Amino acid sequence: MARKFLYFIVFLVVLVVVAGFALSIWSREATEIALVPRGEFVEQDALARNAYEDPDMWYSRPGIGTDDPSRYQPAIAEDEEADDASPAPSPENPATEASLPEGSADLTPQTTRRAEIVPAEDIPDFAVFFVHPTSYIPVNFRDEVNWNAALGDEQAELRARLFLRGLASAFNRADEIWAPKYRQASVGAFLTDRDDAQKAIDAAYRDVEQAFAYFIESVDDERPIVLAGHSQGSLHILRLLQDRVAGTPLEDRIAAVYPIGWPISVEHDLPALPFPVCGSVDQSACISTWSSFADDNDPSFVMERYSMTPGFDEQPRGDGPIVCVNPITGSANGSAPASANLGTLIPEEDFSSASLVPGGVPARCDESGLLLIGDPPEIGSAVLPGNNYHVYDIPLFWRNLQQNVVSRVRAWEAAR
């Protein structure tokens, strides 16, 4: 476990070297030269119809046991000088302002305790289908750069497992978590408007769609479902909503959707989706997403390209607002102080494990739909140019998200 978490931190550093250096130092054109595949898209053979019956086609699924990266549970950091009689943070009793000095971005854990075991009877039954973000990051002049990762790519699969450990683990109160392997589009596919890029994304989606079909066949017909992903994975989740969920009996089984880290245009994307934005923490059958930036930010590299892409209505997305659900409050828009943050996932100094540090990071949706998190917190080395905390969208609010998922499933059950 310790070695795996160390690999996770190493991966984040590699991500900065590849993406952050390229985006902040090189020109936009040079970035494309480095990361966009130089050859033409080559269609990969379709997977066998029964491919996802093979347990090896899944990073996470029932039966994997302790090797399942999505089942990671961090410790809870505590202040050594804290009053032992102080109640644990909860939505009704958030961490006090005193848990972190005013204006401080110090998220260093002091001491830790094991997270409490929640009695099974207190957690509703539900299943999660989680699609991991891009972990295939080859660089021209150094690697063979293809439009899609091959199954069995050692580095891409190692990174995917480590992403799941830090991201999908926030959904670990589900009694089933399914996270498929898929021939993901290269990171370069999201940095160009070449036709080959869309072909690569479409190819990746076909694998996800096939995995989703097997997931649905395998999960009990009465069990509520949470759909979730991050970045590229969220894009595939949004396509599943349109292609496989909207207008079908499956629509009634969706307790919540978390396509985190992928911008959703309020005007050009949201009307095509079968669910509304989550308006409150106790709302079910809704969409919750956010894109994290420090207050002092420059989102132009991401948002300028996004504004030119066609929305789900086939019209350019433009510069209108994107969906922002505050991960601390669970409600659309609005703001929340750092004191209400129940736990940010922070590595220990020796990277052997991680701790949840409460009270460290605030959240405020601005008028454009970006989620602003105050002064840049010292959470790790993978902050992207423009003070873009994309890599940390989930770790910043890990504990709030964990509790929010359960709240929405409970609301779904209550509405039945």
pLDDT digits (tens, 9 = 90+) for 76-99: 665 544 444 334 444 444 332 223
Mean pLDDT of the chain: 84
Residues 6+ apart with CB under 8 A from 172: 70, 71, 72, 73, 402
User: For the whole model, what pTM was predicted?
Assistant: 0.85
Q: What is the pLDDT of residue 82?
A: 42
Strand ranges of the sheet holding 363-365, from the earlier edge strand across to the other edge: 292-293, 371-372, 363-365, 335-336
- Rounded average pLDDT over 159-177: 94
Confidence of residue 304 (pLDDT cuts 50, 70, 90): confident
**How far from 91 is each of 220, 228, 292, 333, 403, CA to CA, in Å?**
31, 22, 21, 18, 8
- Which of 131-140, 202-211, 236-245 is predicted with the least confidence, judged by mean pLDDT? 131-140
- Let me know: does 303 contact 263? Beta carbons within 8 Å: yes
pLDDT digits (tens, 9 = 90+) for 383-403: 888 899 999 999 999 999 999
Q: What is the pLDDT of residue 323?
A: 98
Closest of 148, 135, 147, 128 to residue 60, by C-alpha = 128
More confident residue, 302 or 411: 411
The angle at the Cα of 323, spanning 322 to 329, to the nearest 5 degrees, equals 140
Q: Which domain holds residue 197?
A: 2-414
Instruction: Pinpoint the alpha helices (H) of 16-130.
Output: 21-25, 28-35
- Rounded average pLDDT over 311-338: 96
Q: Does the pLDDT at position 17 exceed 60?
A: no
Q: What is the pLDDT of residue 348?
A: 60
- Rounded average pLDDT over 168-178: 96
Give SS3 for 408. Answer: helix
Residues 6+ apart with CB under 8 A from 249: none
Tokens of 351: 């990277």
Confidence of residue 120 (pLDDT cuts 50, 70, 90): low
- Please tell me which of 143-147, 196-200, 351-355 the model is most confident about, judged by mean pLDDT: 196-200
Closest of 275, 271, 278 to residue 317, by C-alpha = 271
If one counts the domains in the chain, the total is 1
The angle at the Cα of 339, spanning 352 to 330, to the nearest 5 degrees, equals 90
- Rounded average pLDDT over 332-354: 83
Q: What percentage of the chain exceeds 90 in pLDDT?
A: 65
Tokens of 160: 């995917």
Q: What is the pLDDT of residue 81?
A: 45
**How far from 32 is each of 23, 35, 196, CA to CA, in Å?**
10, 5, 14
Give SS3 for 357. Answer: strand
pLDDT digits (tens, 9 = 90+) for 256-292: 999 999 999 999 999 999 999 999 999 999 999 999 9
Q: What is the pLDDT of residue 233?
A: 98
- The single residue listed with the structure tokens 């001491």 is 111
